Structure 1
Amino acid sequence: MMALIISLLLATLRLATPLIFASMGGFMSERSGVVNVALEGFMLTGAFAGAVVGYSFESAWLGWVAALGAGLVIGALYALFTIEFKADQIVTGMAFNLLVMGLIPFLTKILYSSTGSTPALLVEDRFSFEPLVMAFLLVGLLSFWLYKTRSGLWLLFAGEHPEALVASGVSVRKVRWAAVSVSGAFAAWGGASLSLFLASSYSPLMTGGRGFMALAALIFGKWKPLPALGACLLFAFADALQIRLQGIKMGDVEIPVQFIQILPYIVTIIALAGFIGKSRAPKALGR
């Protein structure tokens, strides 16, 4: 029994890793006042870039750096449309998700003559625990940075009272550009943790809605790093539990696996429905 509990807890930590990175990416963007529903696309970008470079150079670390670069680029593109062109942020986010979902199979066809998975890294080339440690360190660093540094306070004011930030001589536009670009990098690391840590290659749509779950964790955590971390662990626990429950029987009747697999999404819906209190978004979010 103890072994089962420990196994479940370790699985929860591993499955929480991509959610933590993506939720911290959403935190950076939304705390600055820019709605970000493109986390799913950002994660897929990081997963693909990390897998391709990691396989090509037989190094998970180089794949990790490539995911960072790809995330910064797609984050900057998202900032260009939402901040400079003032495009609708919800529509733009969904457009980015659809763009990435269509673009990656095109690239895999060019690179590997297949629209499916990328070639797999060797077991010894994959991460063993590093992304998990970095995810928790990131939450701690962001929690400290947000309230203890000047630039962290700039981020808070950009999303809450941008007029006050302008009055103090700080450019809201520059703060949001930086925040959204970094948002892409963090979310891309979430994707890379899937292809370089939880798996050994990129597979089509491997995020499986985790970008939206990360956004739900951020909302559930009231746009704060530590509560969002707790929400990520809750959703990851539900995911780990559904894996363990597959194949379970009630008497002579085996529960269909599809009913078990929707458990994490049911937990997400319940959380967003306000089962444990209501969240207040940053006042300038979307403005």
Structure 2
Amino acid sequence: MARRPARSRSSSAPLTRIPSGPVVLGGATVEAVPDRDDPEGFTLLVDGVPSSYLRLGDPGFLGFEYMQQMAAVLALLPGGPLDVVHVGAAGCALARHVEAARPGSRQIGIDPVAELLERVREWFDLPRSPALRLRAGDGRAVLEQLRPASADVVVRDAFAPDVTPGHLATTEFHALARRTLRPGGLYLLNVADRAPLRGVREELASVGAAFDGCQVALVAEPGVLKGRRYGNLVVAALAPTTEEDSTRLPDLGGAALARAVRSLAAPSTILTGGELATFVGQAPTRHDPPAS
């Protein structure tokens, strides 16, 4: 979920077949709401919650601020195609961006509503397999089926309807994401929270436990980070690599990323190292319930 994007420029690409009102797909109410300021812009609502913003003729465009933050972190990875897994696909806005920015990438979009995946591919002209495979199912169950060290990036951006399902926010789930990543791979999470930001602190504690000894960062707009309003925060973590290759790892605490997030349309702040540890404080880690 996210705030409505800022106005963007239109392009001349033709409209695709998009319904003019809400439709029920697999028990979820889905609506592609036109942007009054942009005839090619649509906000995808799932059960009333903004889940994606897409411009039909501009697959590289990202309207939601948190996705722009994710893209800034993704840009740190070495150039060329990426293998990306999206836990929480919705309209696949970030997948479209990756395809446009890094042609030849292979991606998997996972969503529990099969009918939604079928429709968004038709409505928004999504890349076909193998460029983008869409798999219906629980994000954790599908991730468990993937080979270890098979992805360069894992993105968790899942809500039901406006809260991340608990089993996708535990230390054990984050460890599963780490298992799926290749050495030096990137884990990105969208966390929606409000003051006192207990949720994101616990997420960070849990990610830190699963990615022990690895780089972890938090990116957010200052107003959200200070708890002044409800909003989205991006957590990033890098999978470990060999000592010989460690110098090739992106620097989540480096000046390049700090400049990139400050220069976004909604300037953002990044916390790493000691600042991040102070922010997390004594927040507890989250765990799966004990097996019965």
Give the structure-2-normalised TM-score: 0.26
With CA pairs under 8 Å and 6+ residues apart, which has the higher RCO, 1 or 2? Answer: 1
Q: Which has the higher helix share?
A: 1
Q: Which has the larger radius of gyration?
A: 1
